[in-house]
Homo-oligomer: A and B are copies of this chain.
Amino acid sequence: MTEPKRATIYDVARTAGVSKSLVSLVLRNSPNVSPARRQAVLEAIEQLNYRPSHAAASLAGGSSRTVGVVIDDYTNLWFVELLRGLQDGLSAAGLRIAVSDRTLNAHIASDPLDGFLSTRVEALVLATEPTESMRIPANMPVVVAGNRAMKIPGADVVASDDRAGARQATEHLLSLGHRRIGHLTGGGGASQQRREGYEQAMRAAGLEALVIAPGSATTEETGYRGTQELLTRFPNTTAILAGNDSMAMGALAAARERDLQVPGELSVVGYDASPLAATHLLQLTTVDSLNSEIGAEVAAALLSRLADPAREPVSVRLAPRLIQRRTTAAPGRR
């Protein structure tokens, strides 16, 4: 038995006994179709196992109905909740999401944007630090997710207030009685703002800021190395605010290596409320940057921008909140 060729819209029309135009209307959920005919078309689609061709629809309609999302690296899981919120907000509008990971693409020396431009994505979501090398077409709608060092002219920005979150986390440690609180920072706009929030809170309390910058990556590895350096230079540190949850995990490792009880002898706070922070092993006090809500707001910004390309860029800022778990307590004897 030879494989039949894939069914086209003509086959569906013939099977349903309607015109090709009517099938197209049903596919795009037009209201001006009688229930009976709609039913006939849907049955024909089911029977023929028909799937409309993206390529043809995109080419003919002049619109791919796809939004490109650029993320940093699959390993840093903050994007998962962002995608969930984004997908929820876009699927009702019939828009789909394509994800591109910069780390993976760097490997094969291909610009993730090239693929998206060939796909003719309707808009771009940047959930990563933009770089000069990203040549974004002037008329491309862009929403930046998260705080970034580089500004994209005309782009909307949706982020939680990293300065306020870091301030809140630092004040939590201060209120527990800590005075020697170190901070682990990294590269990028979010790190910068978190650092500023930490410094503001320390200054307001009349305390010295102890900032360690172990590198631009904000990973378990840099968190580990940064904590080693912090505890070597300032041995009487009693608390650490890490730049994100991955760095906090490294801090916990360094503490264990020095036989420092957490939180008895060293308190540790993360940032992002990633799945990692919620594990039984970490039970990490962290700042929830509301990633799923950021995704929802990104979707809203996207839809309104698509509806009105000329509207002024907006900047949405969400208020983060501290999640207290088991890695923070009053300072012990040290």
Listed in ascending order, the chain A residues whose CB lies under 8 Å from chain B are 3, 6, 49, 51-56, 58-59, 64, 74-75, 77, 79-80, 83-84, 87-88, 91, 96, 98-99, 104, 107-108, 110, 114-115, 117-120, 135, 137-139, 220-221, 224, 249-250, 252-254, 256-257, 275, 279-281
Contacts and interface: CB of A to CB of B under 8 A. Distances in A.
Nearest to A275: B75
Contacts of A279: 220, 249-250, 253
Contacts of A64: 55
27 contacts: A3-B139, A49-B135, A51-B114, A51-B117, A51-B118, A54-B55, A55-B56, A55-B119, A56-B59, A59-B59, A74-B74, A75-B275, A80-B104, A83-B104, A87-B104, A87-B107, A88-B107, A88-B108, A91-B108, A221-B280, A224-B280, A249-B279, A250-B279, A250-B280, A253-B279, A253-B281, A281-B281
A130 to B, nearest CB: 18
Q: Is chain A's interface secondary structure helix, strand, loop, or mixed overall?
A: helix
A112 to B, nearest CB: 11
Query: Which of A55, A104, A114, A250 is most buried by chain B, counting CB atoms within 10 A of its CB?
Result: A55
Contacts of A139: 3
Number of this chain's copies in the complex: 2
A77 B115 CA distance: 24
A209 to B, nearest CB: 25
Contacts of A99: 99
- Most B C-beta atoms less than 10 A away, residue of A49, A53, A256: A53
A180 to B, nearest CB: 23
A49 B140 CA distance: 14
A33 B64 CA distance: 32
A107 B86 CA distance: 12
Contacts of A250: 279-281
Contacts of A275: 75
A54 B119 CA distance: 5
Nearest to A228: B280
A118 B220 contact: no
Nearest to A79: B74
Contact of A108 (B51, B75, B87, B224): B87
